[in-house]
Amino acid sequence: MTSVSIMGGSGYVGGELLRLLFAHPECELQIVTSRKYAGEPLYRTHPNLRGITSLRFQKEDLESVAAKSEIVFTALPHGKSLEVVPKLLDYGVKVIDLAADFRLKDAANYKEYYALEHTRADLLESSVYGLPELHRAQIKDANLVSVPGCMATAAILSLTPAIRNGWVDTERIIIDAKIGSSGAGVNPTIASHHSERAGGVRPYMVAGHRHTAEVDQELSSIANKTVHVGFTPHAVNMIRGILSTAHTFMLQTLEPRSVFKGFRAEYENEPFVRLISDKKGLYGLPNPKLTLGTNYCDIGFEIDPHSRRLIIFSAIDNLTKGAAGEAVQCFNIMTNHDEKTGLSMLGIHP
């Protein structure tokens, strides 16, 4: 049994972490912090936990958290993890960070994409990008794991086989991502206001979105050369879920069978990647509706001979495989448990 704590547990990602960890047979939750809700029961902000636990939010006390925890999940705002994580590491605990503060290897990218002067380049070097399908071996022995961004997770997993197999032009990759409102976080803004969001599709940060840097970083590593993707997200009228559509341009004539074999070779041993290739019914391509509340990433594709495109689709729940579920998957790897432990839940239909 591993003792764990959560710092920043009152938001949507913190709530999803709590949902998963209370069902995890190999962890014991010690402390959940929240500056705003200290002293309140967890169900005050996460009503689905009513009757499940008597724990209350506590004030941030790093010494106490470190003393009672072997691993700490930090679900803090961007920039705040940069202050907290180094101190936790100095106390000797392992950290799984769900903010962006340690995802990028180049500190200069933080100034460009986050307007943040990164002060711990040494930790950027040692931090492990927490995408198990690509970095499982490094995650196993890491002291600091940085969980990827939700849209970056969907995009990277969809594009990895195409890049690794040299199928597509790495100078022309366009990613269109559609994301539910929970991706904006728990604090309301005019952009997340129901009357502004419902009934429409709103492009935002159409160039230079923060997750672009993560996608470039990981795909460049796979390609062994610099890759720059075009990435544009859209806010759509759903609460949870991401559908990523990657438009790539083939360097050779590809047949569906060979593409499917390439994807299968990449992911056949991955417990949370499902390949969708079905010409019948409504769900022949990935649909985030079927991933809600699960740690699955569904991937599918179509070939367009007219424009020589290989179009790759991926669907995830942004709060689960896109955040908390991926964090728990990393936790399982770090603690030598089966990766599926606490994550075997199925989606719902309809």
Residues labelled catalytic: 150
As a whole number of angstroms, the longest Cα–Cα distance in the chain is: 62
Element (H, E) at 219: helix 211-223
Identity of the residue numbered 32? V
Helix axes 132-140, 150-164, angle to 10 degrees: 100
* Secondary structure of residue 286 in the 3-state scheme: coil
- DSSP per residue, 268-307: TT-TTEEE---SSSS-SS--GGGGTTS--EEEEEEEETTT
Whether the Cβ atoms of residue 286 and residue 311 lie closer than 8 Å to each other: no
How many Å apart are CA 220 and CA 170, to the nearest integer?
A: 9
**Cα distances (angstroms) measured from residue 157 to each of 163, 191, 219:** 11, 28, 10
Which of 288, 269, 183 has its CA nearest to residue 300? Answer: 288
* Secondary structure of residue 113 in the 3-state scheme: helix
- DSSP per residue, 120-135: -HHHHHH-EE--HHHH
- Residue given tokens 């949370």 in the structure block: 272
Provide the token pair at 314. Answer: 């991926």
312 strand-pairing partners = 246, 301
Which of 138, 124, 134 has its CA nearest to residue 89? Answer: 124
Contacts of 207 (CB under 8 A, 6+ apart): 230, 232
310 strand-pairing partners = 248, 303
